[in-house]
Amino acid sequence: MTAFRLALRNLRRNKRRTVFTTSGLTIGLIVMIFAYGMLDGMEEQALANTIRFESAHLRAFPAGYLDNEFMRDLDDLIPHAEQLRDSLAAEFEARATVRLHIQGQLISGREEAFVDIIGVDPERDRTVYDVLGSLSQGSSFGGEDGVLVGRKLAKDMGFAVGDRVTLFARSAPGALNSRRLPVLGLIATGNPLIDGHAVFLTLSDARAFALVEHEANEIALLFGGRGRAETVARRVRARGGSFDWQTWREAAAGFLEIVKLRRIVFGFIVALLALIAAVAVSNTMIMAVHERTMEIGALRALGFERSLIGRLFLFEGIAIGVIAGVIAVVLGGLLVTWFNHAGISLAAYEDMDIGIPMSEALYPALRWTNPVAAFVFGVLVTALASWHAARRAQKGEVVRALREGML
Amino acid sequence: MNAEPVVRVHELSKSYNQGRVQAVRGVSLDVSPGAFLALAGPSGSGKTTLLNLIGALDVPDEGEVTVAGGRLAELSEKQRTRLRRQRIGFVFQQFNLVPVLTAAENVSLPLEILPGTTRESRRRAAVEMLQRVGLEGLGDRLPSQLSGGQQQRVAVARALVKNPPLVLADEPTANLDGATGIALIDLMNRMRTDQDVSFVFASHDPRVLDRVDTVVEMVDGCIRQ
Ligand SMILES: Nc1ncnc2c1ncn2[C@@H]1O[C@H](COP(=O)(O)OP(=O)(O)O)[C@@H](O)[C@H]1O
Ligand SMILES: [Mg+2]
């Protein structure tokens, strides 16, 4: 009690130094809270984006499909895809849709690009994916035949809604096929795979183009919750059969790896911040011990135990951590809450592929774990940093302390 | 005056720097209850060293010190700390008040580390002590808001608040001007009679030496007979 009150009072002794050290630590902790909120938000949004536009919860592909990312022909397809779709949907209480992916080229004027031509079921696709609901210009399927194209792709190649483009691809029997179609609408999802590389047709148009009837190469399932994907995947994989299965988490593995990398990089930055904070606090406390040598001697003469003297300085240092922690939790929490509502616009980076699917604004995640971690971190750093000063304060001999103070 | 002495010093020696500086050499001395005694002598004669040995702040190389019946040589460091906490008051040349505590808090500080005191009892004791040293109403001031003489009075109150049988004061008047120093010594003299406590000073200040009952002259670590 004595040590605690004295420690708090002592903080007021060299106000400027205390304010300086505390605000430095506070800023560090706020940076930590905010940056981890951003990382969490990025991860969360990217996962949501992947599920909404790219992976659903679980997808079935023809066997071998996933191993051959760049050379997918239409030799291996899922026969009677609609039947399988309906039985999976019924068995696992999932919403389900069929897609047909055709690797081909899009030609517009002199520009050409390799694209993923995707045939989608106009009715069912929107129960699983949000792609058809992410039109930024034009209109969806329903009237005349045509394609929906990723906005970035259209921009890169310089065509617009209403222009005609040519699709060029190998059909299932192997012959090359091409078709010239108007662009009905542009799609903006924030997912680089879609916005920059995808061309959507109706499933029936795509089948006609590829010269297949009831086959397809993707059945996408969406469950009540994404946690169910693993369980279902385990069960369907256990049955064997001629399918490749991919859960949303597996689909996201690539950018989760990137996020993890960023976490590691950021971990180093935090460690560096911690080191700086520790040095600052330690320095502040060592100076305090040095300045109060005589007072320490006097207190020991009055009958203060060594350990009490040590605690005095330990508490004083930790108090810096607690104060900085409280301020950082409040300010950092407010900052994260604010941006969680307002979002941080990424419009300026729209054309930059950061390897992570993102929409136009980043929303840092509101998680209590980050402020709590920052608080604990601040207190631990200051405790460790003042430990040394506390040892020094309690180590010396009374007589020497009193004499040194005199000199 | 044939009661058991408060302090018994027997053949006490203390040297520093591996024996190169013999600060105290074979000193023997008794301090009787209620004494008002000064260790006098020039700077470097060993006054502070002897006072520190009596106050259980330092351990002798040879000889023995007994304070309030307890032989210091038999005490561990923790026990010496406890002895100081319970039985010995200190007054320093530099006052050494805790600058972030008010006068009243400084006075009650020694009670905070004693078991069995309540916040209320400590507060009352501090108010009473401040009144007795003539600082009534100044309890809420910080040391920086008090004059040197007032600060040293607070220090005297702090030394006496736990009712110790012994107060050790090292050059208590060295930082006080003429009249203030005299007033302080007179105050301590009054407290001595009121509270039945022994004062031992280390001082070469004539204002002190003129007012104590006993002057013990030290030269080169020895007592001059
Ligand atoms: N901790 C110490 N280390 C080394 N020398 C010391 C120490 N304390 C005292 N001395 C020396 O011991 C002698 C006596 O000092 P001191 O007891 O302070 O004398 P006084 O109080 O009479 O001035 C001096 O020569 C002083 O330099
Ligand atoms: Mg001295």
Asked, for residue A91, whether it belongs to a domain, the answer is no
Residue that is written with structure tokens 């997918």 in the block: A72
Least confident of A126-130, A144-148, A355-359: A355-359
Q: What is the pLDDT of residue A349?
A: 66
pLDDT at A150 over 80: yes
- Which of the listed residues B16, B20, B27, B224 should we mutate to test ligand 1's pocket, taking the one with most ligand atoms within 8 A of CB? B16
Q: For residue A12, give the chain B residue with the closest CA.
A: B100
> Which residue of A15, A302, A316 is the best one to mutate when testing the B interface, meaning the one whose CB has the most B CBs within 10 A?
A302
d(CA A21, CA A42): 31
Q: Establish if A397 touches chain B: CB-CB under 8 angstroms.
A: yes
Instruction: Give SS3 for B120.
Output: helix
d(CA B21, CA B33): 32
Higher pLDDT, A72 or B36: B36
Q: What would the mean pLDDT of A229-244 be, rounded to a whole number?
A: 90
Q: What is the pLDDT of residue A271?
A: 86
Q: What is the pLDDT of residue A254?
A: 85
Shortest-distance ligand to the CA of residue B44: 1
Are A261 and A204 members of one domain?
no
pLDDT at A67 over 90: no
Whether the CB of B224 sits within 6 Å of ligand 1: no
Which residue in A370, A276, A358 sits closest to A332, CA to CA? A370
Asked, for residue B130, whether it belongs to a domain, the answer is yes
Contact: A6, B58; criterion CB under 8 Å = no
pTM, two decimals, is 0.81
**Ligand 1 atom nearest to A399, measured from its CA:** 1
d(CA A375, CA A379): 6
> Which residue of A315, A316, A402 is the best one to mutate when testing the B interface, meaning the one whose CB has the most B CBs within 10 A?
A402
Asked, for residue A57, whether it belongs to a domain, the answer is no
d(CA A273, CA A275): 5
- Summarised one tens digit per residue, pLDDT across range A245-284 is 999 999 998 888 888 888 899 889 888 888 888 898 899 9
pLDDT at B147 over 70: yes
- Summarised one tens digit per residue, pLDDT across range A151-181 is 999 999 999 999 999 999 988 888 899 999 9
pLDDT at A406 over 80: no
- Summarised one tens digit per residue, pLDDT across range A33-57 is 998 998 899 888 889 989 999 999 9
Domain extent, residue B58, equals 7-223
Task: With beta carbons less than 8 A apart as the criterion, state whether A192 and A353 touch.
Answer: yes
Asked, for residue A67, whether it belongs to a domain, the answer is no
In chain A, pLDDT over 70 holds for what percent of residues? 95
Q: What is the pLDDT of residue A259?
A: 83
Asked, for residue B174, whether it belongs to a domain, the answer is yes
**Domain end among A189, A216, A243:** A216
Asked, for residue A294, whether it belongs to a domain, the answer is yes
Asked, for residue B2, whether it belongs to a domain, the answer is no
Question: B156: exposed, middle or buried (C-beta count within 10 Å: 0-12, 13-18, 19+)?
Answer: buried
Question: B42: exposed, middle or buried (C-beta count within 10 Å: 0-12, 13-18, 19+)?
Answer: exposed
**Domain end among A168, A190, A216:** A216
Contact: B90, A301; criterion CB under 8 Å = yes
Instruction: Give SS3 for A7.
Output: helix
Q: What is the pLDDT of residue B1?
A: 47
Are A335 and A393 members of one domain?
yes
Residue B90 identity (one-letter amino acid)? F
Whether the CB of B45 sits within 6 Å of ligand 1: yes
Are A284 and A386 members of one domain?
yes
Report the CATH number that the domain containing residue B54 is assigned in CATH. 3.40.50.300
Asked, for residue B1, whether it belongs to a domain, the answer is no
Beta strands in A212-277 (DSSP E): 218-222, 243-247
Whether the CB of B16 sits within 6 Å of ligand 1: yes
Report the CATH number that the domain containing residue A130 is assigned in CATH. 2.40.70
Q: How many structural domains comprise chain A?
A: 2
A27 sits in which H/E element: helix A15-50
Contact: B113, A300; criterion CB under 8 Å = no
Q: What would the mean pLDDT of A214-237 be, rounded to a whole number?
A: 94
Q: How many structural domains comprise chain B?
A: 1
- Summarised one tens digit per residue, pLDDT across range A353-365 is 666 677 667 888 8
- Summarised one tens digit per residue, pLDDT across range B26-72 is 999 999 999 999 999 999 999 999 999 999 999 999 999 999 888 99
In chain B, pLDDT over 70 holds for what percent of residues? 99
CA end-to-end distance (rounded Å), chain A: 32
- Summarised one tens digit per residue, pLDDT across range B82-117 is 999 999 999 999 999 999 999 999 999 999 999 989
Asked, for residue A58, whether it belongs to a domain, the answer is no
Expressed in angstroms and rounded, the spacing between residue A12 Cα and the centre of ligand 1 is 35
Using CB atoms, pick whichever of A13, A300, A304 lies closest to residue B99.
A13
Are A387 and A278 members of one domain?
yes
Higher pLDDT, A347 or A25: A25
Q: What would the mean pLDDT of A234-240 be, rounded to a whole number?
A: 89
Domain extent, residue A175, equals 96-216
In chain B, pLDDT over 90 holds for what percent of residues? 92
Q: What is the pLDDT of residue B2?
A: 57
Q: What is the pLDDT of residue A258?
A: 85
Are A122 and A171 members of one domain?
yes
**Domain end among A194, A216, A238:** A216
Asked, for residue B123, whether it belongs to a domain, the answer is yes
Contact: B85, A294; criterion CB under 8 Å = no
Are A387 and A274 members of one domain?
yes
